[in-house]
Amino acid sequence: MADNAPPEATPNQPQLEAVDTISLATEASNPASRNLDQLSVLEIVSLMNAEDTKVPEAVSKVLPQIARAVEVITERMQRGGRLIYMGAGTSGRLGVLDAAECPPTFNTSPDKVLGLLAGGPNAMVNAAEAAEDDPELGRQDVIKINLSANDAVVGLAASGRTPYVIGALQYAREVGAAAIAVTCNSPSALEEVAEITIAPVTGPEVLAGSTRLKAGSAQKMVLNMLSTATMVRLGKTYGNLMVDMRPTNAKLRRRAARIVAEATGQDDNSAMEALEQSGGETRTAIVALLAGVTPVEARERLRQAGGFVRKAIQQ
C-alpha cells in the first residue's frame, strides 16, 4: 500500500463513512476561512460575525415548516401531550436548555417539555459522543418515558443522520407521536423518518465540522420559535407579556409586578398588592384588576377560558 493511500476499511470504520461525511455541507471546508490560523484575532472574530449573519437568512427560508411544527406541537399539548426534544452533543444540549427554560418562563410542569440527551444527564457537561451512534439507545430513551400518540418528538441533529435521533423518531412514528426533525443538512436521513423537517442549511462552518457554531445558532433560533410560539398558542401570554411565569425569587417577583402593572395600567404598589392577593399568580391578578372581580372569580374565569387572559377578561 502506498504511503499516501487511505487506510483499508475495517468492519468498524468503512470507507463509505468518510465519503458520507465529506458530502455533508456542515462538514465541508469553508473557503472563507482556509487561512484561519494566519488571521489576527480581530480578523477571526470579524469573519465569524460575517458568517453568523447567514444564520437568520437560513432560518427565514424554513418559517413555513416551523409554523406547521408549532401547530402540531400545540395540538398535541392541548390534548395532554408533551413536547420532547431528542439530540446528541451540541444539538441535544440545546434541546435540554430550551426544555429547562419552559417551567420558569411559562409555568409548565417539568414533565411537559423534556430534553433527552444521548448519554444521559452527565453528557450535558461531559462529552459522550459515542452514545449517539446507536439508534436503539434513542428508541429506548423514549420508551422509558412512555411515549404516546399525544406527544410530539423534535429530533435535533445538525448532520441530519445521527442514529440516536433516527431511532427515536422511528419509534415516535410507530406509536403515532408527532415526529419533527431539525437539521442543517438537506436532504438527510432524518427527513426520511420525520413527518415535518425543519432544515435551515447554514453551510460550512468557519471551523470545519464544528456545528456548535452556525448550525448550533440556527437550531437555537428554531427552538426559540417552537417553544415560544407554542406557549403563545396555549395562552401563556397576554399581548407580549409572559403572564404565566413563576415568580420564584426576588427578581422574578419584581418582574411579575411590572407585568401586572403594564397589563392593567395600575401603579407598582397596586400591582404588587393584587399579585399578593392572587397568591403570586400573575394571570389571576391581571384578570382580577381588569375585570373588577375577586381573585377567586378570576381563577374561575381563567379555568373557563382555558387559561387565556383575554378571553377571561371578556367573559
Q: Is 27 a catalytic residue?
A: no
Task: Choose, from 71, 75, 101, 192, the residue flagged as catalytic.
Answer: 101
Task: Residue 211: count other Cβ atoms within 10 Å of its Cβ.
Answer: 24
Assigned C-alpha cell, 255: 418582574
Three-point CA angle 185, 60, 47, nearest 5°: 70
- Are 61 and 129 contacting, i.e. CB atoms less than 8 angstroms apart? no
DSSP E strands: which ranges in the chain? 83-87, 113-117, 152-156, 178-182, 196-198
Report d(CA 260, CA 222) in Å as an integer: 29
Of 91, 93, 111, which is closest to residue 102 (Cα–Cα)? Answer: 111
Task: Choose, from 27, 51, 132, 281, the residue flagged as catalytic.
Answer: 132
In this structure, the chain runs to a length of 315
Cα 98 → chain centroid = 5
* 3-state secondary structure (DSSP) of residue 181: strand
Q: Is 300 a catalytic residue?
A: no
Task: Residue 272: count other Cβ atoms within 10 Å of its Cβ.
Answer: 19
Which residues are catalytic, by number? Answer: 101, 132
